[in-house]
Amino acid sequence: MSLPSNRKIVVTQRFFDDRSLAYLRAHGFAVELAPPPPGKGDGDLDMDMLRRMLEGASGWIVGHARVTRPLLEALPDLKVIARRGVGYDRVDIAAARDLGRVVTIAAGGNDASVADHTVGLMIAVGRRFRESQANMLQGDWSILSGNDLCEKTVGLVGLGRIGKNVVRRLSGFDTKILVHTRNPNPADADLQGVEFIDLPELLRRSDYVSLHAPLTPQTRFLINAAALGAMKKGAILINTARGGLVDDAALLEALRTGHLGGAGLDVFVSEDDPAYKPVTDALLALPNVVATPHAAASSHEGLARTNLVAARSIVAVLNGETPPPGTIVADGR
């Protein structure tokens, strides 16, 4: 049976929950679930496959697929692209506007999940969880001495919704929090216990540096060899934002030489640049690196929240209503 004209929504993500599915159907939309093959994400699907999946759809709930001008031009019925997440560096925003499309993000949906993950990585690397378990599996139960997060200095690069959630969580650890942001919000000046400083000073003073900035041409490789060299010896780098913020080859060298004490990584340059895969593999092999596969937002609760924000955004746009606050990043209507 054919799907209703202009009421077809395609979801190219796994873990699309029943509540969000029911929400779309209750508003008169036919939903086609098209998750990628096992071991793949929708970012691994080529343009021809995406075009076939999305033919005739008016809405698309997308994860990490590249939304390019040629793809949008090939899909004239597609009116709204809803990211189940908050980054949109893989979406051609200018093309979406030019072609009359709307692009939304799941603003506020995964903030708590990524913030939890960030603090978890700080503790896991600092207390040497990976090294301890690896030794135990070899029969070595000797105790490795790690470092507390309590009363340390934590530098946050970027202070959006996720960064602010990290600030709130760190208050329970009696940390000193330093923040560098390129776009300071006057309302943030009153955040209790937060000191706003420039990036060189943040790198010099921080025991932990955690990245929460968007990936743009200006922020690509923001943490390069010089920045890593400026960090305190033994400091720990956490990246749950975007892989391109860090020059992973320079990070590998800083870890191998012992300048840095460790790294907690959820994102990698190789996600967008396959030439960096050997660097990623080498990072994963280091005992003082705790890594996850771009999974910081993927708790059951976080996915349910982002699914529903994406669903509400699509329904609102296609029904000519106002989407949830902060969700629209491109509006070509």
Cα 264 to chain center, whole Å?
Answer: 14
CA atoms within 13 A on the CB side of 138: 8
According to DSSP, the residues that pair with 119 across neighbouring strands are none
Which of these is catalytic: 212, 294, 305, 312? Answer: 294
* Burial degree of 127 (CB within 10 A; 0-12, 13-18, 19+): middle
3-state secondary structure of 179: strand
Beta strands in the chain (DSSP E): 8-11, 30-33, 59-62, 80-83, 102-104, 153-157, 176-180, 194-196, 208-211, 236-239, 262-265, 289-291, 328-331
**Residues 318, 31: contact at Cβ < 8 Å?**
no
**Which residues lie below 8 Å from residue 73, measured CB to CB, with a gap of 6+?**
99
Among this protein's residues, is 242 annotated catalytic? yes
Which of these is catalytic: 84, 128, 242, 312? Answer: 242
Which of these is catalytic: 83, 84, 180, 271? Answer: 271
Query: How far is residue 184's CA from residue 205's CA, in Å, rounded to a whole number?
Result: 20
3-state secondary structure of 227: helix
**Residues 102, 332: contact at Cβ < 8 Å?**
yes
Among this protein's residues, is 97 annotated catalytic? no
Return the sign of the alpha-carbon dihedral for residues 74, 78, 80, 82.
Answer: negative
Query: How far is residue 206's CA from residue 210's CA, in Å, rounded to a whole number?
Result: 10
Q: What are phi and psi of 25, to 5 degrees?
A: -70, -35
Among this protein's residues, is 212 annotated catalytic? no
Active site residues: 242, 271, 294
